Homo-oligomer: A and B are copies of this chain.
Amino acid sequence: MKCKVTFLPENRSTEVRKGTDLLQAAREIGIEILSNCGGQGTCGSCKVKVLKGNPGASPSPHLSKKEIAEGWIQACLVLVEEDLEILVPKEHRIAKPAKISTGLKTAARIEIGKWDITPSIKRVKLKLPSPTIDNNISDLTRLFQGLDHEGYPSEKLWCGLDIISRLTKTLRKKNWEVTVLILESEHGFEIVDIQPGDTTCNRLGLAIDIGTTSVVVYLVDLLTGHIIGTESDYNKQISCGTDIISRIIYTERKNGLTVMQKLIIETINNLINKLLVKHKIHRRNIDCVSCGGNTTMMHLFLKIDPNNIRFDPYIPTFTTTPLLSAKEVGIKTGAHTSLYCVPGVSSYIGGDITGGILASGMTKDNKLTLFLDVGTNGEIVLGNSEWLVSASCSAGPAFEGAGIKYGMRATNGAIDQVKIDRKTFEPTVTVTGHEKPIGICGSGTIDTIAEMYLAGIITQKGKFNKELKTQRVREGKYGWEYVLVWKNESGIDNDITITEPDVDNILRAKGAIYAGCSLLLKEMGYKAKDLDRFLIAGGFGHYLNIEKAIIIGMLPDIDPEKYQYLGNTSVIGAYLTLLSRKMQEEVTQIAKNVTYRELSVSNDFMNEYMASLFLPHTNIELFPTVQEILKEIKHL
């Protein structure tokens, strides 16, 4: 039995089998409802309104009685049992990103001229002598002899049956002139394609960052190293959960892993298509692909069960893969295209981070450097040219809006900057895309909390000051809250507020990051002030106001000059390893050198973490600048 579900305001309908959940029904026709927890029913982000039909009651702690009475439901908790008409409001949709960090600025600083470009696949042109009765060796032997003259000894060469099948015709097509594509590895030389004539000029590659939230692709000229174009989009897997853990949980469903791989491959292929069309390039000219991503994303990308990643002792199936074939994974490039995956360290320090270390150059000198990648997770690497230690903080996706009542990504309609008057407690906000605000993004949330703290709206412990004479501080359904935008000024049907649970969530997220940094420094015998550099990578870093992040105690209170924002270093790591086998060796060495510290089982970390659940910290002495600001405010 099928039921018809119509989604508004698009007015698009789909017929689904009775019993399908509403989230799945929407996904099937491309209506992208937000689903931070991946349909587990725990986050409440998939709120939609029933306009026609009766979906049956389904209890949800995320819905008020009034909302239920108005027809609001959680899409993931409702199974379709009759025809329905559903309104999906803007703020509960997966928004297109305002900007995804492509790392191009940092990439532009790379001096390619300094090193040899040596991609995994080389193109070698041969002009072979035609056979005669006195020189009647087989076509394959003739090819191998030709390659031997070019420095590829026959005993190290091999090829698959497909090459042999095409060989005879290809050799004769342009009068014994051919271009041979050779995959170079430590094992020898594999012939991966053979093309008639001279095609040595057509050599392109793709560098890809597979982020939990977004995917970035560079199209690269492998002759010059030049980045010809770049495209980016959200990772389509977002419809199955915002964070890594909900994605892993999703794979436990029937066909869950298949769905997850399909979504990321679709995302990547769409971006590749855009680049190919825009730059008028044939798939067959893409020789190499290099991919960076966290360990879970790489498992999903290669369709490998990631479930052990989330259970003690957190064992991934792989952190390093051999060179693969792009076709085998489903990437639509050439049949010969190689796929290199940047090697990672552990379940929670992936190739995105080792690639980031490579891109950051922090291993080039002995300056004490802290590298922080704040994306959906927070990964920290401390070290220099001699040693590297790392940790991953389950900061959670609070900075990306998850777990924050009106949280959202940094897309149009997001409040991204906030200033609160110290006396009137009235806020001034700026909104991405200059639209009516519909929520608050990570940087806006940090701003708000820093400002609330400085204005005395919340205490050092993050608790609301209930004595303030302003309507903006009030007790709401989820406890005390601060009204940032009144309903009539907002783009939604509600006041936009920051609640006490929101503050708690941000404190936990920033506390985890700060504690992680502290612990690594402490264990290596350093203090924050010893740092020569504090490098920030990842999409979120772009929006981060360093000053505000110090005020809330997310980042250590050191000279702001030492902070440097690098953007998407994962894609730059992929780009570097795409261009050069030497860079592949370097990143392999980095992955081997990085010591991984599992924080979840460390008592020291727990102590650091508990001390960091304050604004800015239990020990205010660690934040002299903040102390200074607070003093100034009191003087006013």
Interface residues of A (CB under 8 A from B): 131-133, 135-141, 155-156, 158-161, 164-165, 167-169, 186-188, 302-305, 308, 312-322, 324, 328-329, 346-347, 596, 598, 601
Contact = CB atoms under 8 A, between A and B. Distances in A.
A140 B313 contact: no
Contact of A313 (B133, B158, B160): B133
A195 B138 CA distance: 39
Contact of A138 (B140, B312, B316): B316
Given A138-B319, A139-B318, A346-B136, A165 B598 contact: no
A551 B199 CA distance: 62
B136 A317 contact: no
Given A138-B317, A140-B318, A164-B317, 17 more contacts: A133-B314, A133-B598, A136-B313, A136-B314, A136-B315, A136-B346, A137-B319, A139-B308, A139-B317, A139-B318, A140-B319, A160-B328, A161-B302, A161-B321, A164-B321, A168-B305, A188-B188
Given A167-B317, A304-B165, A136 B598 contact: yes
A228 B131 CA distance: 45
Nearest to A185: B158
Interface centre among A158, A161, A165, by most chain B C-beta atoms within 10 angstroms, is A161
A138 B318 contact: yes
A368 B17 CA distance: 81
Contacts of A314: 133, 136
Nearest to A157: B322
Contacts of A313: 131-133, 135-136
Given A155-B186, A158-B187, A187-B156, A164 B601 contact: no
A285 B110 CA distance: 53
Contact of A315 (B138, B159, B164): B138
Nearest to A165: B304
- The 7 closest A-B CB pairs, nearest first, are A140-B318, A158-B322, A133-B313, A187-B187, A187-B188, A138-B319, A168-B317
B131 A168 contact: no
A88 to B, nearest CB: 36
Contacts of A347: 136
A338 to B, nearest CB: 13
Nearest to A139: B317
Contact of A322 (B159, B187, B303, B601): B159
A303 B167 CA distance: 12
Nearest to A324: B161
A167 B317 CA distance: 7
A601 B133 CA distance: 8
Contact of A320 (B141, B321, B324): B141
A187 B190 CA distance: 10
A337 to B, nearest CB: 14
A328 B161 contact: yes
A315 B131 contact: yes
A380 to B, nearest CB: 18
Given A140-B318, A319-B138, A133 B164 contact: no
A303 B165 contact: yes
Nearest to A302: B161
Given A132-B313, A322-B158, A322-B159, A302 B139 contact: no
A315 B141 CA distance: 11
A581 to B, nearest CB: 14
Contacts of A161: 302, 321, 324, 328-329
A30 to B, nearest CB: 29
A139 B316 contact: yes
Contact of A164 (B136, B139, B304): B304
A305 B138 CA distance: 13
A168 B315 CA distance: 9
A192 B351 CA distance: 26
Contact of A133 (B159, B169, B312, B319): B312
A238 to B, nearest CB: 25
A598 to B, nearest CB: 6
Contacts of A598: 133, 136
Contacts of A168: 304-305, 308, 317
A560 to B, nearest CB: 37
A537 B361 CA distance: 68
A420 to B, nearest CB: 44
Contacts of A132: 313
A344 B135 CA distance: 16
A140 B187 contact: no
A562 B319 CA distance: 65
Contacts of A186: 155-156, 188
Contacts of A158: 187, 322
Contacts of A133: 312-314, 598, 601
A175 to B, nearest CB: 15
A373 to B, nearest CB: 20
Nearest to A339: B161
A187 B188 CA distance: 6
A576 B329 CA distance: 38
A347 B139 CA distance: 11
A346 B321 CA distance: 40
26 contacts: A131-B313, A132-B313, A133-B313, A133-B601, A135-B313, A136-B346, A136-B347, A137-B315, A138-B318, A139-B308, A139-B318, A140-B317, A140-B319, A140-B321, A155-B186, A156-B186, A159-B322, A161-B302, A161-B328, A164-B317, A164-B318, A164-B321, A167-B317, A168-B305, A168-B308, A187-B187
